[in-house]
Amino acid sequence: MVVIPLVMAGLTLLVSDRVNHYLNLVAGLAFGLLGALPVMEILEGTFDGHIVMALTAAALGLLIGGLSVVELRQRTARVAER
């Protein structure tokens, strides 16, 4: 789980904006879905500190994916205006 944000940060520096937004979208959604796996433990009745951290990571991953979608839509709208 630690490697994904580091790879995303490295790709931000190495690739163009449009490719970066698509990569952030895919990686953010993957990171969010992987982080949401502890929900099964909550349903079983256990709730520990690591579950809170994993759910926070999932929320941040989904936020990154959502922000990438917003930026891609804004870029498309700007291109359509021209």
Q: Which of 75, 70, 4, 9 is nearest to 33 (CA)?
A: 4
Asked if 27 contacts 5 with a C-beta cutoff of 8 angstroms, the reply is: no
User: pLDDT per residue over 14-61, tens digit each?
Assistant: 888 888 888 888 888 888 888 778 777 777 887 778 778 888 888 888
CB 59 within 8 A of CB 28: no
Q: What is the pLDDT of residues 15-27, one digit of tens each?
A: 888 888 888 888 8
Domain ranges of the chain: 3-81
Q: pLDDT, tens digit, for every residue of 64-77?
A: 888 888 888 887 88
Cα–Cα distance between 30 and 28 in angstroms, integer? 5
Mean pLDDT of the chain: 80
